[in-house]
Structure 1
Amino acid sequence: MVPPQRHSFVADPGMFTVEEAKKLAATIGVQERRVLPPPYCASDLCIAAAEGLMQQLDWDPATVEVLVFVSQDADYVLPATACIMQHRLGLPTSAAAFDVPLGCSGYVYGLWIAAKLLGGSSAKRALVLCGDNPTRHLHPEDRATLPLFGDAGSATALEVDASAPSIPVVIGTDGAGAPHIFVKAGGKRHCLIPPVGTAGRIADEEEAAQLERDSRLTLNGAEVFSFTLRAVPPLLREVMEHAGTDVDGIDRFVLHQANAFMLEHLRKRIKAPADRFVIDMQGFGNTSSASIPLAICHSMGGLLAAGPVKTLMAGFGVGWSWGAMVAELGPMPEPQVVDLPEGYPVLAV
């Protein structure tokens, strides 16, 4: 699920010359991005996607017993957005519903957590909802981030099948990378507003300007690229080894759609054929936790309808956090990328 609002820095270069914009678009693989306007949040995209998916699968919401919401953009400080989503979707009060605040690696983590819960309980069905709206953290004059990031939400359904093959998963974390993809303000360490009970919101113009700067997404491109080339090729090889296969045995590689330049370097590192390595972000940008399911829906719909498709999925980035899995996807109803309907009701308390 994506917002209908499209922003193209190629059509409207703004801070770039026309030639600069064309060159950058070719490098990062993004022509336009989807930008979610207020008052909508990532949760609204995910709710709309979940409603459509359950209708497509003919699932009664009362049969869904696990809801995992993966996002770095919660609606409120508290409660967990997943609790509000459970009520909106009509899931039973016996359902487990919780948030997972991960970004680039979040889709793999969400599937892994949901699968573990299904395998270790009496629950039979789960929804994994992944979505982010990173454009809220972009400064309109930031040449490094503005052309790259877009907003999206997704819904993935999981159901217990005792005859299904196992799904090997490899995950990891290295918090030394925390400063390199970073939004400083907004949590309790650096609040956007003074503590409850203190007079006034902002002391002076200088403090207000600093809060605005601290609310921006900062991205250390060199460090991100170095981490990716260092960590991701071994990750992909390890998960293929756990799956008892190699590059030739994978039908599709779907990695976090960070940018086309980085993805092409990874493809060459593992010697994957271009026709089986998905790079599909031209019309959406880097959508954080939603980038893997978005790429699957946009580029593999027909394949999944015929299925099964042995798919290697890998997310990596902010944290540093990473995860990869190999799963047979399909046959299933053909997944689609849908625009958020005009006038869709906002998820609110």
Structure 2
Amino acid sequence: MAVFTFDNIKIGGIAAAVPSNVEKTTKYNEMFGEEEVKKFMDQTGILETRRVAKHQTCADLGYVAAKKILDERGIDASEIGAIIFASHSPDYRRPATAFVLQKRLGIPTDAAVFDISLGCSSLIYGVQVLGSMMQSSNIKKALLITGDTASKSVAPTDRSSLMLFGEAGAAILLEKTDDKLHPITSILKSDGNGYRYMIVPGGGYRDLNPTEEIFECKDGNKRSLYNSFIQGTAVFTFTIFDVPQILKEFMAHTNTTVDDYDSFAFHQANLYILKQIAKKVKISMEKMPISLHKYGNTSGASPLVSLIEEYANNPEKKVINTLFCGFGIGVSLGVFSAQVDTNYIYPMIEDDSIFEEGLIKSPNELYSGLTK
């Protein structure tokens, strides 16, 4: 168990953006049957999701979220010493999407810039990595941008995933502080034995060009090797056993109880799973912000999306003791606690813009605009 503590770093801003395209879950009544769709909505809590356009990415949404934080806080891009993009939905196979975001945001060339390839736990791991870098360096402000466009790899008739995933991009600002706040503390775990539980098998460097054949899968869904696969039973077992365990270990390590936290910002896997976790750890659902009904499972962005849903438009501003938890693909899980000033949680942004320069339709386009 990897444990980290940062006593001079705080969260200085939280923002997220979603596309304007709303997809109602009832849209699938004709495809899957009204009874099955209703059962899905009752179990997962997902009534609608947001879907990006063909060439829009979560980095487009994350850029808008990061820009919102910088503008609201009056922070110049030159003050940002590091930027991490944490996602399984990069703009390209290479280079890292963080470089594209650096260019778009105008972050200086002496900043540390890179990607982390993670999904549902990307927020937790990203904060730990940034915090570690900041604590041992002269970096005073840093940005983590996270999110996914998971539906782009879902098979078009996949009952297990098609209604589940929503799309969002979120940003969080970390900054050094002299304020007397509780330290940010985190615990990280992973189990590579579960690498097949949630996977897109084809298109990576293990097998760049596998067959495009559509397979009849044992769960009744049809998929190709380029589509997302979720081993539902294994994932469910992992979440309802391993996640409560790490939460209990975290509270034992920090000598805290559920009563010490005002809010539990958890990955929005589905409502049934969240209720099972809450029951096992004795967390009141009133303390657990939910965004599933409106945005679906937004992967690593979901804890921030849920905080925004709960606090951004609430006129009562305060500092909340928050326990963040992310878990999923890898399999990977982590927890961190932090005090969050709700003045720095900004309302949800709708945005459909695309970084047109990044859409490259011919290799010959790459010869233009070269710099020394």
Give the letter aligned to residue 160 of structure 2.
Answer: A
- Is residue 160 of structure 1 aligned with residue 160 of structure 2? no
Question: 9-18 or 47-56, which moves further after superposition?
Answer: 9-18
Partners of 1:304 and 1:317 in 2: CA distance: 34
Preserved CA contact (<8 Å) 2:25 2:46 = no
TM-score normalised over the length of structure 2 = 0.86
Question: Equivalent residue for 2:367?
Answer: none
User: Residue 302 of structure 2 is aligned with which of 291, 304, 327?
Assistant: 291
Question: Equivalent residue for 2:6?
Answer: none
- Is residue 300 of structure 1 aligned with residue 276 of structure 2? no
For 1:214-233, what aligned pairs fall within 5 Å after superposition?
Answer: 214-233=225-244
- SS of aligned partner of 1:272: coil
- SS of aligned partner of 2:40: helix
Question: Equivalent residue for 2:252?
Answer: 241
Per-residue CA deviations over 1:282-324 (Å, capped at 9, x if unaligned) read 1111111111111111112256962210111000110011110
For 1:117-266, what aligned pairs fall within 5 Å after superposition?
Answer: 117-163=133-179, 164-192=181-209, 207-209=211-213, 213-266=224-277
Give 1:183 shift: 0.6
Per-residue CA deviations over 1:69-120 (Å, capped at 9, x if unaligned) read 0010111121111111111110010000100010011101111111111111
Give 1:11 shift: 4.0
TM-score normalised over the length of structure 1 = 0.92
Partners of 1:305 and 1:344 in 2: CA distance: 35
Per-residue CA deviations over 1:161-213 (Å, capped at 9, x if unaligned) read 133321111001100011111110121001137xxxxxxxxxxxxx3325970
- SS of aligned partner of 1:228: helix
Question: Equivalent residue for 2:52?
Answer: 36
Partners of 2:72 and 2:182 in 1: CA distance: 24
- SS of aligned partner of 2:336: strand
User: Residue 30 of structure 2 is aligned with which of 3, 7, 14?
Assistant: 14
Question: Equivalent residue for 2:344?
Answer: 333
- Give unmatched runs, 5+ long, in structure 2: 1-16, 216-222, 361-372
User: Residue 110 of structure 2 is aligned with which of 70, 85, 94?
Assistant: 94
Partners of 2:266 and 2:161 in 1: CA distance: 20
* Richer in strand (by share): 2
Preserved CA contact (<8 Å) 2:55 2:354 = no
- SS of aligned partner of 2:147: strand
- SS of aligned partner of 1:168: strand
Give 1:17 shift: 1.8
Partners of 1:334 and 1:300 in 2: CA distance: 7
Partners of 1:91 and 1:347 in 2: CA distance: 18
Per-residue CA deviations over 1:104-161 (Å, capped at 9, x if unaligned) read 1110111111111111100100000001100101112111110101111001111101
Question: 117-126 or 184-193, which moves further after superposition?
Answer: 184-193
- SS of aligned partner of 1:15: helix
Partners of 1:260 and 1:347 in 2: CA distance: 39
Question: 14-23 or 80-89, which moves further after superposition?
Answer: 14-23
- Give unmatched runs, 5+ long, in structure 1: 194-206
Preserved CA contact (<8 Å) 2:312 2:342 = no
Per-residue CA deviations over 1:244-291 (Å, capped at 9, x if unaligned) read 210111111111100001000111001111211223211111111111
Per-residue CA deviations over 1:10-56 (Å, capped at 9, x if unaligned) read 14423222232122101111011111111111111111111111111
Partners of 1:23 and 1:329 in 2: CA distance: 36
- Is residue 316 of structure 1 aligned with residue 301 of structure 2? no
Give the letter aligned to residue 167 of structure 2.
Answer: D
Q: Mark the CA change 1:304 to 1:260 in structure 2 (over 3 Å): closer, same or farther.
A: farther
Question: Equivalent residue for 2:284?
Answer: 273
Question: Equivalent residue for 1:108?
Answer: 124
Question: 16-25 or 78-87, which moves further after superposition?
Answer: 16-25
- Identity, in percent, stands at 31
Give 1:241 shift: 2.4
Partners of 1:304 and 1:165 in 2: CA distance: 24
Partners of 1:8 and 1:120 in 2: CA distance: 47
Partners of 2:30 and 2:133 in 1: CA distance: 48
Q: Mark the CA change 1:253 to 1:127 in structure 2 (over 3 Å): closer, same or farther.
A: same
User: What do you get for the CA RMSD once the two structures are aligned?
Assistant: 1.8
- SS of aligned partner of 1:44: helix
